[in-house]
Chain A
Amino acid sequence: MVSSISILGGRGKDGRPDAVRRIDFQMGQVVSIVGPTGSGKTTLINDIELFAHQDTPTGRTILLNGQPVPKEFRYNPAYNPIALITQHTTFLSDLPVGEFLAAHCRVRSRNGDRLDLISQALEFANQLTGEPIEPTYRMTELSGGQTRALLIADAAVICSTPVVLLDEVENAGIHRARAIQLLRQHRKIFIFVTHDPWIALLSDFRIVMQAGRIFRVLSTSEEERALSVHVYQLDDVLCRLREKLRQGERLSAKELQEVA
């Protein structure tokens, strides 16, 4: 069982060392990775997902339960404790959705096929998208939002791993708050790459990236936690505006009353 993941520091693009030499993630924690675009956020979660052992350009090392990662975790997806939801908004796999999910079920399960998971995954995904995904649709035909929704559902239902990495879930064009609510029904380590204040403030701590290096680690303060409630309200209002626009409705000044 995975109970913790650790990052041992490496270096940034200019060769300067990470300012924090070790970061530990404990089971049940939610962590954000923040920083300007190009600052190395995606590289950091790729290091985690690839179980870097000083063999990536950053020279970082990943430990599981404080130990080096066993080989089979690296080469056998059935043992891989990490699900990564990348920023991809298109699939390149030329398979129908149902067939792809069945193949991934076989890859990820250690004890036989769990084909019941396919309908569960689709049900999960369809709670996040405007237009439902059918198992007969080809993967390559899905919209950007459907692609991200299916990736999240695949990670949660089919991978069902103790660690989930999410790269900018807010850009997915999906129901983000619903996604996070569904995901958090399970006790896991969640690591979000995000530009979203609400996601950053609901985290236990956040890792700040700069020029490819880990610049600092900030625990979420009490004040920030209190603030997150208001941030959520603001966000909720914007979401409702967006939804009304999408549905072809007109907007009025009273939409903003509750946050004015």
Chain B
Amino acid sequence: MKLIICAGPATTGKTSVLRHIIRKLLAAGKRPAYLKLDVQFAEEDQLLAKEFGIPTKKVYTGELCPDHCHVMVLGDALRWADRVGTDILLVETAGLCLRCSPYVNGGLGLVVLEATSGMNLPLKVGPMLSLADTAVVTKIDRVSQAEREVFRSRIQDAAPQVLVREVNALHGIGIDPLVAQALDSPDVVEPLLLRGNPPVGTCTICVGRREIGWQAHFGVVRPLENQTFYRGE
């Protein structure tokens, strides 16, 4: 199972980017599945299921921190994706608190940023950018070439090891290199670990347990299927 985790602030075009990637993965003979994590509203799972006939799922994180929820359900989600006969799971997760990042060892981490953002955005999004493999810059047609190039350099100053790929997600321009990266990424092997250390806090994730899957945690835990319960001390 290959795993692509896509993060980024709200309305930057994450779903549009993934839509084009899914279309090209299907054309390449892959069998993708899609999981959307959102705080309170999402319909992308239904839209993508209808458009491509692929298995999709969504999780409302509700009062649970989205990154916390992501850690809890991702283990289950990989098994779900396996059970429904797919070979590449795309996880889209909504804008987070900017102290965490959802990427795991072995998977491909994409952060989607829009070229129309302020020039200091790359400095503000922290590990969501710096721990990604690739920063996908959307809405490139909305700014001048000069602004696009300066925005690119701002990303590279903030996160020198992250690849920058500009795309027009409206027309699917520039998607091919992302698909090639997805196809080149190795299958993930459990146990999965978060790439980054979560911030200091009081829950098991906040105190730095990076293991993926609710079984490794206590306090507020939840499996993929919709429930929240308390486990352990």
Q: Which of B144, B151, B165, B173 has the most CB of A within 10 A?
A: B144
Is the C-beta of A88 less than 8 angstroms from some C-beta in chain B?
Answer: yes
| New A-B contacts (15) at CB < 8 Å, excluding given A91-B143, A95-B150 | A46-B141, A50-B174, A56-B173, A80-B149, A84-B144, A85-B144, A91-B144, A93-B150, A94-B118, A103-B119, A107-B150, A107-B153, A154-B146, A155-B146, A158-B146
Cβ–Cβ < 8 Å partners of A84 in chain B: 144-145
Q: Which of B120, B141, B153 has the most CB of A within 10 A?
A: B153
Q: Is the CB of A92 within 8 A of B145?
A: no
Q: How far is the CA of A155 from the CA of B144 in the complex (A)?
A: 11
In chain B, positions 118-149 with a C-beta closer than 8 Å to chain A are: 118-120, 141-147, 149
Would you give the shortest CB distance from A91 to chain B, in whole angstroms? 6
Find B173's partner among A55, A80, A107, A158 (CB 8 Å cutoff).
A55
- Chain B proximity mask over A80-120: 1 for CB below 8 Å, otherwise 0: 10011110100111110000100110111000000000000
For A43, the closest partner residue in chain B by CB is: B171
Is the C-beta of B164 less than 8 angstroms from some C-beta in chain A?
Answer: yes
Q: Is the CB of A104 within 8 A of B149?
A: yes
Q: Is the CB of B164 within 8 A of A75?
A: yes
Would you give the shortest CB distance from B120 to chain A, in whole angstroms? 8
Is the C-beta of B176 less than 8 angstroms from some C-beta in chain A?
Answer: yes
- Chain A proximity mask over B172-187: 1 for CB below 8 Å, otherwise 0: 1111100000000000
Would you give the shortest CB distance from B116 to chain A, in whole angstroms? 5
Is the C-beta of A49 less than 8 angstroms from some C-beta in chain B?
Answer: yes
Q: Is the CB of A88 within 8 A of B143?
A: yes
Cβ–Cβ < 8 Å partners of B116 in chain A: 92
Binding site for A on B (CB under 8 A): 116, 118-120, 141-147, 149-154, 164-165, 171-176
Cβ–Cβ < 8 Å partners of A75 in chain B: 164-165
Cβ–Cβ < 8 Å partners of B173 in chain A: 50, 55-57
For B115, the closest partner residue in chain A by CB is: A92
Q: How far is the CA of A75 from the CA of B152 in the complex (A)?
A: 10
Contacts A50-B174, A56-B173 given; indicate if A92 touches B142 (C-beta within 8 A). Answer: yes
Q: Is the CB of B172 within 8 A of A57?
A: yes
Would you give the shortest CB distance from B184 to chain A, in whole angstroms? 15
Q: Is the CB of A106 within 8 A of B144?
A: no
Q: Is the CB of B146 within 8 A of A95?
A: no
Find B147's partner among A50, A83, A92 (CB 8 Å cutoff).
A92
Q: Is the CB of A106 within 8 A of B153?
A: yes
For B120, the closest partner residue in chain A by CB is: A94
Contacts A50-B174, A55-B174 given; indicate if A103 touches B150 (C-beta within 8 A). Answer: yes
Is the C-beta of A144 less than 8 angstroms from some C-beta in chain B?
Answer: no
Q: Is the CB of B176 within 8 A of A55?
A: yes
Find B171's partner among A57, A77, A93, A108 (CB 8 Å cutoff).
A57
Q: Is the CB of B143 within 8 A of A92?
A: yes
Cβ–Cβ < 8 Å partners of B142 in chain A: 92
In chain A, positions 45-82 with a C-beta closer than 8 Å to chain B are: 46, 49-50, 55-57, 75, 77, 80
Q: How far is the CA of A155 from the CA of B147 in the complex (A)?
A: 12
Contacts A56-B171, A93-B119, A94-B119 given; indicate if A49 touches B145 (C-beta within 8 A). Answer: yes
Would you give the shortest CB distance from A239 to chain B, in whole angstroms? 26
Q: How far is the CA of A50 from the CA of B118 in the complex (A)?
A: 23
Q: Is the CB of A77 within 8 A of B141?
A: no
Is the C-beta of A151 less than 8 angstroms from some C-beta in chain B?
Answer: yes
Q: Which of B142, B146, B164, B174 has the most CB of A within 10 A?
A: B146
11 CB-based A-B contacts, threshold 8 Å: A46-B141, A55-B173, A55-B176, A57-B172, A75-B164, A93-B118, A93-B119, A94-B119, A104-B150, A106-B153, A107-B152
